[in-house]
Amino acid sequence: VKVTRISRAPDASRRNDRSRQAILRAAWDLLDRGGFPALTIEGVARRAGVGKATIYRWWPNKAAIVMDAMSELALPHIPFPDTGSTREDLRRQMTSVTELFPTKAGRALLALIGESQHDALLAAALRDRLIVERRESASEVLRRGVARGEVRADIDPGIAIDALYGALYYRLQVSHAPVDPAYVDALIDQLWPALAAAP
Amino acid sequence: VKVTRISRAPDASRRNDRSRQAILRAAWDLLDRGGFPALTIEGVARRAGVGKATIYRWWPNKAAIVMDAMSELALPHIPFPDTGSTREDLRRQMTSVTELFPTKAGRALLALIGESQHDALLAAALRDRLIVERRESASEVLRRGVARGEVRADIDPGIAIDALYGALYYRLQVSHAPVDPAYVDALIDQLWPALAAAP
Amino acid sequence: VKVTRISRAPDASRRNDRSRQAILRAAWDLLDRGGFPALTIEGVARRAGVGKATIYRWWPNKAAIVMDAMSELALPHIPFPDTGSTREDLRRQMTSVTELFPTKAGRALLALIGESQHDALLAAALRDRLIVERRESASEVLRRGVARGEVRADIDPGIAIDALYGALYYRLQVSHAPVDPAYVDALIDQLWPALAAAP
Amino acid sequence: VKVTRISRAPDASRRNDRSRQAILRAAWDLLDRGGFPALTIEGVARRAGVGKATIYRWWPNKAAIVMDAMSELALPHIPFPDTGSTREDLRRQMTSVTELFPTKAGRALLALIGESQHDALLAAALRDRLIVERRESASEVLRRGVARGEVRADIDPGIAIDALYGALYYRLQVSHAPVDPAYVDALIDQLWPALAAAP
DNA sequence: GATTAATCGAGACGGTACGTCATGTCTTAGC
DNA sequence: GCTAAGACATGACGTACCGTCTCGATTAATC
């Protein structure tokens, strides 16, 4: 059954995948080289050997390109292991995150978060495509802990995650202090009494 | 003793204070109207009735202007009261911060934090002029609590503050979820076991 | 005898006449609306509901489309009557031309002449398909006049026509002054001694 | 007396004359190289080593630049001599014009006339700055002829000039036939009976 | 009547130029 | 010597067309 095209959206089936990939890679490189300010549509087009119109046809703005590039080139795989110990699970997860920060993907993520402050659509996209999943995984760890009797039954996982991960972001973005495995250990140690089940 | 001017630094004694104030106010207004992207030197000059050179003479970049404007026009006065209860002191401080966020000054602060991600000088300035003082006050609250026996003696105030305030920033900037007094209460309730002295 | 197609020339027998007409009409409308600058291939394709390739398949450039449109839609029929009086014949012909100018077809003709200044192929096409025939008819009028003894025998019809019609074009394109029947009368009156046979 | 600036027109007194000249020269060169289609603002800016904004600040469109360039670089000096013979005066003037056509300035002039077909402002500027003066000079030649008794007293100089010069333009732009001194001679010979005083 | 090959609409593509805006430097008058 | 004003070279913005191209889907001529 043939359906008359109504929307003015471009026809994805005709999309040139070579161009798409070249654009994502070029954006990725530029972002890494000079951060968001260095990422210009003009520059991406030049470096990718692509017309500007092709970029504008498929992405509404720079942030959207970076989002795609991140999904495509750098899906930062954060493991959420089940070691049997909630504390150890948290430690490993959070250490993975600290190891992500100094990479290309980490810098891109932070740049996107910064940009999302004045771009509601980007904020929503980030939340949906990157944040929600991670928070869900972390919640799962805590729920397992509750089931095992390690974690207090009346915990609010959202708040706990805000505190744990918030500390990392705050240190990185506001204090500009190092965020490393040692810090993660100290952080979990300090907060553990607030998470642990009563003895 | 008269010293021959050598550097090209402008002579502050001759500075026109009317222009200075007009610039800060114009920057402030533009920032509030459209966020950082709307804040252009050109726009500030136009709106302030000032030459662009005058702006460049006295400030190295937009962020510096906003820093000054914040100090001048909106030094957000956060009280650090001493109610006798550490928990109440923290609650009041953090509530004050949540009340700051939706104001002009709060938006400006968040914009500056975002901008500081790719501007090391701004990051340092922010830290020195706005962050350090607050952290110090919060540390003081915790130290008083230790002295009173309310707060555990082996607390690391830095980490505690990262967790408490980090949760606020994370919620605001990453989760884009509301940050209000109720949230502050719940947050402190959850984390209190990690801060409190053993009974 | 079937001959294997070698050249890439399109097969006219398969041509879709609906498209051809829609294209000519669309071009004609656009030309009338905004002159040559408003006549874009993209616009013609859109308005005619036709693929751009179809246009490029059959016409080398915009001018060629307009040429066809003119032949098809508006072949301006200029009568070259034989009233018995050369002067009257000329007057009628030239008046017909002045009446053509303010029409769609007239505007198109002038646009084509302008365009032909930097397009030798178009210039040749115009000359062959529109100009030569008219000049020939005008020459014929003059030759009849010679035969009748009204017009001097040693006239060079080419030069006479240059002067008569040139005056019209010059007035229209350079002086931008009105070209109307009254002007035609005055022009013929003035030049007649140069055309007439000696008494 | 200081007058408050009202209009948004740029301040000509601050104009950079080096840029102005570089722009005119670049435009001139490009026009000569490839005609009007080759004359792009982008190209002029590149070749002149000038920002596009500088061009847009001072000229509304390409044609205006060419007008200025013509006045500045190539004011084609057409002599209007007084030899004592009207016929000879006309011959010399018109020959000068034919000699202008194949030069840069001539090509520019024809390009401008073409462009003026869809640009009323340009048409007016051309008329005022280039055409009127020439027509006036030619009229003067005819009036002298009348005074001397060579030219018929009831001549309409406007019409005579339309016919004489119109023939040149028509031949050049419509017939695309050569316009040379021999043609000028033949043209004047043919038309002379229409100009001459009765014997 | 079925097969086949070219035309058709649609529109993506790499480009070039458009005209606008902001950048940071500079020059010129005026106070 | 600072100031308001704003011209300047630079370069990115987002848009419009260019002419080429690829894709299914008609559709007309041939078998």
3-state DSSP assignment of residue C151: strand
Tens-digit pLDDT profile for residues A107-144: 888 888 888 887 888 888 888 888 888 899 999 999 99
- Chain B CB within 8 Å of residue A127 CB: yes
The residue in chain A having the minimum alpha-carbon distance to the alpha carbon of residue B192 is A194
**pLDDT above 50 for C6:** no
Say how many CA atoms lie within 13 Å of C31 toward its Cβ. 28
**pLDDT above 80 for C4:** no
Tens-digit pLDDT profile for residues C168-195: 999 999 999 999 999 999 999 999 999 9
d(CA C100, CA C106): 5
Question: Which of A39, A175, A187, A195 best tests the B interface by mutation, with the highest count of B CBs <10 A?
Answer: A175
Tens-digit pLDDT profile for residues A60-104: 999 999 999 988 877 666 677 889 999 999 999 999 999 988 888
**pLDDT above 80 for C39:** yes
Low-confidence ranges of chain D (pLDDT < 70): 1-9, 75-78
A16: nearest nucleotide, CA–C1' criterion: E12
**pLDDT above 70 for A8:** no
**Protein CA at B60 to nucleotide C1' at F1, angstroms:** 20
What is the H or E stretch that residue A22 is in?
Answer: helix A17-38
pLDDT of residue C5: 42
Q: How far is B186 from chain A (nearest CA, A)?
A: 8
- Chain D CB within 8 Å of residue C154 CB: no
pLDDT of residue B77: 66
Helix axes B86-100, B157-170, angle to 10 degrees: 40
C-beta atoms of C170 and D176 within 8 A: no
pLDDT of residue C75: 66
d(CA A156, CA B192): 13
Say how many CA atoms lie within 13 Å of D187 toward its Cβ. 32
pLDDT of residue C161: 97
- Chain C CB within 8 Å of residue D16 CB: no
d(CA C107, CA C113): 10
Which amino acid type is present at position A123?
A
The mean pLDDT value for B176-194 works out to 95
* Chains in contact with chain D (at least 3 beta-carbon pairs closer than 8 A): C
What share of chain C has pLDDT > 90, as a percent? 62
Tens-digit pLDDT profile for residues C83-112: 999 999 999 999 999 999 988 888 888 888
SS (H, E, C) B165-193: HHHHHHHHHHHCCCCCHHHHHHHHHHHHH
pLDDT of residue D76: 61
d(CA D45, CA D54): 9
Scan residues 177-196 of D and list those with Cβ closer than 8 Å to C: 186-187, 190-195
- Chain B CB within 8 Å of residue A166 CB: yes
d(CA B145, CA B157): 11
pLDDT of residue D158: 96
The mean pLDDT value for C60-76 works out to 85
Strand E: positions under 7 A of a protein C-beta atom: 6-31
- pLDDT band per the 50, 70, 90 thresholds, residue A6: very low
d(CA C115, CA D174): 11
Q: Which residues of chain B lie closer than 8 angstroms to A126, CB-CB? A: 174
What residue has its CA nearest to the C1' of F19?
A: C56
Tens-digit pLDDT profile for residues B68-82: 998 887 766 667 778
Q: Which of A154 and D122 is assigned the larger pLDDT?
A: A154
Tens-digit pLDDT profile for residues A104-114: 888 888 888 88
pLDDT of residue A75: 66
pLDDT of residue D7: 42
d(CA C186, CA C164): 11
Query: In this structure, what DSSP letter does residue B149 have?
Result: T
Strand F: positions under 7 A of a protein C-beta atom: 1-26, 28-31
Which amino acid type is present at position B199?
P
Task: Look at phi and psi of residue B35 and say left if phi exceeds 0, alpha if psi is from -120 to 50, else beta.
Answer: left
pLDDT of residue B165: 96
pLDDT of residue A17: 95
- 10 Å Cβ neighbour count for D182? 11
Q: Is the dihedral of CA A128, A133, A135, A139 positive or negative?
A: positive
The residue in chain B having the minimum alpha-carbon distance to the alpha carbon of residue A185 is B159
C-beta atoms of B35 and A117 within 8 A: yes
Say if CB C176 and CB C79 are below 8 A apart.
no
Q: Which of C48 and D127 is assigned the larger pLDDT?
A: C48
Query: In this structure, what DSSP letter does residue D151 have?
Result: B
**Protein CA at B43 to nucleotide C1' at E29, angstroms:** 23
pLDDT of residue A3: 36
A19: nearest nucleotide, CA–C1' criterion: E13
Tens-digit pLDDT profile for residues A155-172: 999 999 999 999 999 999
A13: nearest nucleotide, CA–C1' criterion: F23
pLDDT of residue D54: 97
Note the helical H segments in B59-177.
62-74, 86-100, 104-115, 120-126, 132-148, 157-170
pLDDT of residue D114: 83
The residue in chain A having the minimum alpha-carbon distance to the alpha carbon of residue B113 is A174
pLDDT of residue B7: 43
Tens-digit pLDDT profile for residues D5-49: 334 567 788 899 999 999 999 999 999 888 888 999 999 999 999
pLDDT of residue B76: 60
What residue has its CA nearest to the C1' of F15?
A: A53
pLDDT of residue D62: 92
Q: Can you state the percent helix, strand and coil of chain C, rounding each to 5?
A: 75, 0, 25
Nearest CB to D166 within list C124, C170, C186: C170
Average pLDDT, chain C: 89
- Chain B CB within 8 Å of residue A172 CB: no
Query: What's the Rg (C-alpha) of chain A?
Result: 20
